[in-house]
Amino acid sequence: MTDPRSTFSSRARGLVLSFSSRARGLTSTCCLALGLLGCQYDLDAIYQHASGDGGAAKDATVITSAQLIASWIGNSSTVDQECVSCAEEKCVDADRDCRADPTCVAYTDCVGKDPTPGGQATCRAQFASWVGQGSVRDRDLSGPYGQCVFRYKCSAECESNTDLTCLGSYTWPLTAETTVPLHLYLVDAYEQTIPLPSMRVRACNAADIKCTEPLSDTVTDDKGLAELRLPASFSRAFTGYLEVTGKDVYPTLLKFSWNLASETTQLVGIVKEANFKLAINAIELRPDDTRGMLQLRMLSCGNVGVAGASYASDRADAQTRNWYIIDGFPTLMAAATDSVGSGGIIDVPEGSTTVTASRASDGVAIARAIVPVRAKFMSVVVFSPLSAQ
């Protein structure tokens, strides 16, 4: 008989929301790498990193692979050689493909000029049609090269590259429009190339925990795409959440820790009920059906998982418990995340709860969101570092 822990380990990232919400640029400031303030490399020079000598710079205008990867994560001091070597060996073709596409080059240039979550959101709006063409999963982080490095080929080697230097130092865009377009692609969280058609997606007011008066209502098509126009509130952004239900999936409430105010293409993995049961059985979790469950992930400024983050709900009581993904396995024994940045809270009382992500080493709050909790639902939250707003 197959060990359920082994089965879960091979798909561990599937339990965690497969969510990519912001892009990280190839052009960027490499200040720590060069000891300069505000240094900017032009795009053509950056794209020369995949040279015949293994990526080393041939002259002063060519950025090294280490500096290139630092531009995604915001901090050169955490770039390790294992990550750089993997990128140079396995992702040259992805780099070449992006250079051959003028729109990919323009998108890369855009996100590189403002390498913060807010700046990336603005670029995603400007290039929403390009991100949504072809395989969204190949474009929704940093374009083909960023996807290759951090999602497809080098995710294990580059897991430690996290950064929070943007904490409290950037802003999210706002809108003067009455609605915000959202192109939401739903896929199986375990088999992320498999779309989920016929899923009902409803946009809900933050205070409407049961979603009795949905703000928008649609069904995914054969590609798993739900087209939504989210109403902007008085805060000039959509501040609510999304409800996803359908055959074979665990009922889910999606909450972004930031307010949506610009056109966005999102790819979201939804957990199947059978896979969820397998995962919780591996650690003998027995959720209370009268309460809700939270599934959480903390992302860095560069959209990479954050190690050492702990989660807390202001509605936690003696029955509430935290869990974290450690080395591919969920556990109730850990106190903080590993480099994937994933964990959750089970048996949370119904209603709205404020969930805070803190740096376990010093207790400093690094992210916060007001989250809807509903019995027999999984509330999925992806955190971005706290902004200046």
Does the pLDDT of residue 244 top 80, yes or no? yes
- Is the pLDDT assigned to residue 325 strictly greater than 60? yes
CA pair distance 256, 238, nearest whole angstrom: 10
48: burial class by Cβ within 10 Å (0-12, 13-18, 19+)?
middle
Same domain flag for 117 and 239 = no
Torsion over CA: 246, 252, 256, 261 (sign): positive
3-state secondary structure of 97: helix
So what's the pLDDT on residue 377? 95
- The length of the chain is 389
Q: In the structure, what pLDDT confidence band is assigned to residue 382 with cuts at 50, 70 and 90?
A: confident
pLDDT tens, 251-272?
A: 999 999 988 998 888 888 898 8
User: At 324, which helix (H) or strand (E)?
Assistant: strand 321-326
- Looking at the structure, tell me whether residues 255 and 223 fall in a common domain: yes
Residues 129 and 255 occupy one common structural domain: no
CA atoms within 13 A on the CB side of 94: 22
Decide the pairing of beta strands 342-348 and 292-298.
Answer: antiparallel
Whether 224 is covered by a domain: the verdict is: yes
Rounded Cα gap, residues 111 and 259, in angstroms: 19
pTM: 0.77
| Residue 16: DSSP 8-state | S
* Span of 11-25, 240-254, 320-334 with lowest mean pLDDT: 11-25
Average pLDDT over residues 270-280: 82
| pLDDT tens track for 71-125 | 555 555 556 778 888 888 898 888 788 878 888 878 777 766 676 788 878 888 8
Beta pairing partners, 256: 382
Residue 373 has pLDDT above 70, yes or no: yes
The whole-angstrom separation of Cα 196 and Cα 18 is 14
Amino acid at 98: C
Structure tokens at 372: 């809807």
Higher-scoring residue by pLDDT: 164, 196:
196
Q: Which domain does 265 fall in, by range?
A: 179-270
Q: Kindly calculate the radius of gyration of the chain based on its CA atoms and give it in whole angstroms.
A: 20
In a domain, 227, yes or no: yes
Q: Give CA separation, 83 vs 18, 52, 70, 80, 156, in Å.
A: 21, 18, 11, 6, 8
The secondary element (H helix, E strand) that includes residue 255 is strand 252-256
CB-based contact 173:122 (threshold 8 Å): yes
Q: How far apart are CA 308 and CA 301, in angstroms?
A: 15
In-domain check, residue 49: yes
Q: How confident is the model at residue 12 (pLDDT cuts 50, 70, 90)?
A: very low
**Alpha carbons 293 and 344: distance in angstroms, whole number:** 8
Q: Is residue 159 part of a domain?
A: no
301 and 261 in a common domain: no
Residue 24 has a pLDDT of 31
Greatest CA separation for the chain:
64
Q: Which conformational region is residue 190 in: left (phi greater than 0), alpha (psi within -120 to 50 degrees), or beta? A: alpha
Does the residue 105 lie in any domain? yes
pLDDT of residue 293: 92
Q: Give the model's pLDDT for residue 126.
A: 87
> Is residue 102 domain-shared with residue 15, that is, in the same domain?
yes
Mean pLDDT, rounded, for 219-227 = 95
If one compares 79 and 334, the residue with the highest pLDDT of the two is 334
Domain boundary among 270, 303, 335: 270
49 pLDDT above the threshold of 70 = no
- CA angle 194/188/370 to nearest 5° reads 140
DSSP 101-153: -HHHHHHHHHHHHS-SHHHHHHHHHHTHHHHTSS-GGGTSSSSHHHHIIIIII
Question: Is the domain of 218 the same as that of 299?
Answer: no
Give the distance, in angstroms, between the CA of residue 96 and the centroid of all CA atoms in the same chain: 25
291 and 263 in one domain?
no
The count of domains in the chain is 3
For residue 292, tell me if it sits in a domain.
Answer: yes
Q: Are residues 133 and 29 in the same domain?
A: yes
- Residue 25: the pLDDT is 30
Q: What is the pLDDT of residue 41?
A: 27
pLDDT at 330 over 70: yes
Most confident of 39-53, 90-104, 301-315, 369-383: 369-383
149 and 32 in one domain? yes
Residues 63 and 143 placed together within one structural domain of the fold: yes
Q: Do residues 133 and 187 both lie within one domain? A: no
Q: Is residue 115 situated within a structural domain?
A: yes
Question: By the 8 A CB rule, do 339 and 307 touch?
Answer: yes
Q: 70: closest CA among 180, 134, 163, 198?
A: 163
CATH number of the structural domain spanning residue 229: 2.60.40.1120
Helix axis angle for 102-113 and 92-99, nearest 10°, is 100
How does residue 70 score in pLDDT terms, banded at 50, 70 and 90?
Answer: low
**Same structural domain for residues 236 and 367?**
no
pLDDT of residue 199: 97
Kindly state whether residue 165 falls inside one of the protein's structural domains. Answer: no
Where residue 67 falls among pLDDT bands split at 50, 70, 90? Answer: low
